[in-house]
C-alpha cells in the first residue's frame, strides 16, 4: 500500500480563499478584522512564527499589529498591555506568542485575554466550551486537523482514534474534537504502557509528541490514517522531522500528513479563520 498524501497547503489555500470574501465584506461594511500579536523578547523561533502570522494577515487584508515588549517585562506590565488590547474595539484577536520568559506568570497572562478575543482558543472558558461542544474559538492546530480530515472526506464517526500526546495545545483538544465527531478516542502519553499496541488499534492515529520518528511501523495498523503533528529539528539541526517514521507511514497507512507540508500549514490558516470569526461576532452580533 502507498499512502495518499494529505496536503496541508492545498487545505490551507481553500480555507484562505473562503476567508477572503468574508474579510472583504467586513472591510466594506465596517472595518477589517484586527489581530494583535504580542511577542515578548526576541526568541528567533517565535520571531519566525510571528512573521508568518503577520504576513498571512497582510495577504488576507486583516489589520495586524505587533507589540514587542522586552524579555525583562514583568507580569504586571504584560497584563497592562493585554488589558489595553482587550479595550480596543478595532482589535478582534489577541495572540500572546509562547513561550514567555520565566519571570512572567503565563497562566495569569492567558487568563487576562478576553475570551472573545482569544483566537488561540487557550482561555479556560474557551477550553470549557470545547469540552461542552459549544461554539467558541478552538485551538488552531487541532481545528486545522479536523478541517483537513473533513476536506479529504475521511470519515471519523465510529472510527477508533488514538492520540499520542496530552498537551493543552494539541493532544487534549484534538482528542475532544475527534470525540465530538463521534470517534472512539484513546489518549496516550509518556506513561502509557504498550504504546505501540494501543496505537495499532487506531483507524486514525494522531502523533503529537515532539519526539522525532518515535512512531515506527509497529505502531501503524495497515490502512490507518496517520496524522503527524510533530515538528522536530532534523539531526543536523536543520529542516523539520515529524514524530512518525515517514517511510513506515507511506508504506502502511492509507493516508498520511507529511512533515513538512501536512499539519503545519493549517495552524496559521485556522488562526486567520478564528480572527475573521471573532470580527464577525464583534461587528455583526457583539
Ligand atoms: P508537549 O506539550 O511537549 O506534549 C508532548 C506530549 O507527548 C506529552 O503529553 C507527553 O506525555 C507525550 N510524550 C512525550 N514523550 C512520549 C513518549 N515517549 N511516549 C508517549 N508519549 C510521549 O508538545 P506539544 O506542544 O503537544 O507538541 C507536540 C509536537 O507537535 C511537537 O513536535 C510540536 O512542535 C508539534 N506542534 C506542531 C504544530 C503545528 O504543526 N503547527 C503546533 C503545535 C505543536 P506526558 O504528558 O506524559 O509528558
38 shares its domain with 110? yes
With respect to residue 275, please indicate whether it lies within any of the assigned structural domains: no
199 shares its domain with 158? yes
Q: Which helix (H) or strand (E) holds 21?
A: helix 8-29
Domain range enclosing 38: 31-114
- Which pLDDT score, from 0 to 100, does residue 235 have? 85
Ligand 1 pocket residue status of 190, Cβ below 6 Å: yes
- Which pLDDT score, from 0 to 100, does residue 286 have? 52
Question: Could you report the per-residue pLDDT of 179-191, keeping only the tens digit for each?
Answer: 999 999 999 999 9
Q: Which residue has the cell 513506515?
A: 248
Pocket test for ligand 1, best of 173, 209, 212, 257 (most atoms within 8 A of CB): 209
238 shares its domain with 164? yes
Ligand 1 pocket residue status of 257, Cβ below 6 Å: no
* Spans of the chain, pLDDT less than 70: 1, 285-286
Residues ≥6 apart with Cβ < 8 Å to 96:
38, 40, 78, 82, 109, 110, 113, 120
- Which pLDDT score, from 0 to 100, does residue 200 have? 98
Identify the domain boundary among 96, 114, 132. 114
With respect to residue 286, please indicate whether it lies within any of the assigned structural domains: no
Judging by DSSP bridges, how do beta strands 232-233 and 240-241 pair with one another?
A: antiparallel
Going by CA atoms, what residue is nearest to atom 35 of ligand 1?
230
With respect to residue 14, please indicate whether it lies within any of the assigned structural domains: no
Determine the distance separating the centroid of ligand 1 and the alpha carbon of 175, expressed in angstroms.
13
With respect to residue 174, please indicate whether it lies within any of the assigned structural domains: yes
Query: In angstroms, what CA-CA distances link 58 with 29, 104, 120, 236?
Result: 19, 30, 19, 33
- Which pLDDT score, from 0 to 100, does residue 285 have? 65
188 shares its domain with 146? yes
Q: What is the CATH number of the domain that holds 237?
A: 3.40.50.720
Ligand 1 pocket residue status of 75, Cβ below 6 Å: no
Ligand 1 pocket residue status of 189, Cβ below 6 Å: yes
Determine the distance separating the centroid of ligand 1 and the alpha carbon of 164, expressed in angstroms.
8
Task: Show which residues are catalytic.
Answer: 53, 97, 120
How many domains does the chain divide into? 2
Give strand ranges (E) for the chain. 4-5, 34-38, 63-67, 93-96, 160-164, 184-188, 204-207, 225-228, 232-233, 240-241, 255-256
With respect to residue 247, please indicate whether it lies within any of the assigned structural domains: yes
pTM of the model: 0.97
144 shares its domain with 259? yes
The residues that bridge with 206 in the sheet, in sequence order, are: 163, 227
109 shares its domain with 199? no
| Ranges of H-type helices in 152-282 | 171-180, 195-200, 246-252, 264-280
Ligand 1 pocket residue status of 210, Cβ below 6 Å: yes
170 shares its domain with 205? yes
156 shares its domain with 71? no
Question: Could you report the per-residue pLDDT of 130-164, keeping only the tens digit for each?
Answer: 999 999 999 999 999 999 999 999 999 999 999 99
- Which pLDDT score, from 0 to 100, does residue 237 have? 84
Residues ≥6 apart with Cβ < 8 Å to 237:
none
Identify the domain boundary among 62, 97, 114. 114
Amino acid at each position: 500500500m502507498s499512502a495518499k498524501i494529505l496536503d496541508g497547503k492545498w487545505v490551507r489555500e481553500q480555507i484562505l480563499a473562503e476567508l477572503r470574501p468574508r474579510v472583504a465584506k467586513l472591510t466594506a461594511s465596517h472595518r477589517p478584522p484586527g489581530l494583535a500579536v504580542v511577542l515578548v523578547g526576541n526568541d528567533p523561533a517565535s520571531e519566525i512564527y510571528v512573521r508568518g502570522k503577520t504576513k498571512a494577515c497582510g495577504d488576507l487584508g486583516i489589520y495586524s499589529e505587533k507589540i514587542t515588549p522586552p524579555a525583562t517585562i514583568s507580569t504586571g506590565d504584560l497584563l497592562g498591555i493585554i488589558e489595553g488590547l482587550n479595550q480596543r474595539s478595532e482589535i478582534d484577536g489577541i495572540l500572546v506568542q509562547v513561550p514567555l520568559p520565566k519571570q512572567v506568570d503565563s497562566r495569569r497572562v492567558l487568563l487576562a485575554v478576553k475570551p472573545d478575543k482569544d483566537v488561540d482558543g487557550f482561555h479556560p472558558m474557551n477550553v470549557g466550551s470545547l469540552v461542552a461542544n459549544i461554539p467558541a474559538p478552538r485551538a488552531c492546530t487541532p481545528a486545522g486537523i479536523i478541517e483537513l480530515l473533513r476536506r479529504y472526506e475521511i470519515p471519523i464517526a465510529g472510527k477508533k482514534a488514538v492520540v499520542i500526546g496530552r498537551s493543552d495545545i494539541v493532544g487534549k483538544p484534538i482528542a475532544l474534537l475527534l470525540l465530538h465527531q463521534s470517534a472512539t478516542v484513546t489518549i496516550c502519553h509518556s506513561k502509557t504502557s504498550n504504546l505501540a499496541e494501543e496505537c495499532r488499534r487506531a483507524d486514525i492515529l494522531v502523533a503529537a509528541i515532539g519526539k522525532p520518528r518515535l512512531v515506527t511501523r509497529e505502531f501503524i495498523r495497515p490502512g490507518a490514517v496517520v496524522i503527524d503533528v510533530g515538528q522536530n529539528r532534523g539531526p543536523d539541526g536543520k529542516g523539520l522531522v515529524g514524530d512518525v517514521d515517514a517511510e513506515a507511514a507511506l508504506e502502511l497507512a492509507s493516508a498520511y500528513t507529511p512533515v513538512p507540508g501536512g499539519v503545519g500549514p493549517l495552524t496559521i490558516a485556522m488562526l486567520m479563520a478564528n480572527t475573521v470569526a471573532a470580527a464577525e461576532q464583534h461587528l455583526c452580533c457583539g
